[in-house]
Amino acid sequence: MNICLPKTIAAVTALTLLSGCANIQDDGTRTRTEGALAGSVLGGIAGGIIGHQSGRGWEGAAIGAAAGGLTGLAIGNHVANKKAAYRDEEAWLDACIARATQVNRDAVAYNNRLSNRIASLRSQVAAARASNNRSELRRLQTTVVTLRRETREQVELVDTEIDAQGEVVSETGSSNLRSRVSSLKSTRSSLRSNEERLADLGNQIDV
């Protein structure tokens, strides 16, 4: 099966539906519709690629489109509801920029603390291994598992913010907010790097 065909159909469908979105007068409805559309197209392409590997490209595309549409609708709905709470678009955009800045600041602070914690844990693990202190190694292993879970939660929080603010950027074209989203993506990469460091550290603990 030619995997380019589902992509082509998805692209044509997207262009058609986007032109329809432009004619939706209600701002909230348009935002929700655009979010659902974007999710459906991306989900359909991803599902088609995955399904193609098992010879079920069309089935994978359909499932991916449905799942992506639901996710996109949720993001679009979130953005529309937030926007409705402000008196005008400028106030709403300022609030979005402030929110993205705060989420990034909090995530950076968490990641800096995590980096220091990982460095300390490495020393503790090395000392416990050298003395064959198995009870201490078990304690450290529990700490590493907890930190990995907390870090994954931080990554998910940043991911959610990137998706929501990305929707706002698509709607407003704000270069200021786009810069904040880029910062969030950079922070997400740093968080994931520290999560990988924690995984490596956990693998060093043999209890």
Residue 115 shares a structural domain with residue 41: no
Mean pLDDT of 55-83: 56
**What would the pLDDT profile of 112-127 be if each residue is shown by its tens digit?**
999 999 999 999 999 9
Residue 80 shares a structural domain with residue 93: no
CB 85 within 8 A of CB 136: no
User: What is the residue-averaged pLDDT of the chain?
Assistant: 77
Neighbours of 132 (CB within 10 A): 8
Output the domain CATH number for residue 196: 1.20.58
Residue 70 shares a structural domain with residue 93: no
Domain endpoint, select from 37, 57, 84: 84
Residue 13 shares a structural domain with residue 61: yes
Provide the domain count of the chain. Answer: 2
CB 154 within 8 A of CB 191: yes
Please tell me the predicted confidence (pLDDT) of residue 52: 52
**What would the pLDDT profile of 14-55 be if each residue is shown by its tens digit?**
444 444 444 444 555 555 555 555 555 555 555 555 555 555
* Spatial distance between the Cα atoms of 141 and 147, rounded to a whole number of angstroms: 10
Residue 49 shares a structural domain with residue 98: no
Domain limits for position 158: 89-204
* Spatial distance between the Cα atoms of 16 and 81, rounded to a whole number of angstroms: 26
Neighbours of 39 (CB within 10 A): 24
Domain endpoint, select from 84, 107, 139: 84
Residue 98 shares a structural domain with residue 195: yes
Residue 98 shares a structural domain with residue 186: yes
Domain endpoint, select from 42, 57, 84: 84
pTM over 0.85, yes/no:
no
Residue 10 shares a structural domain with residue 39: yes
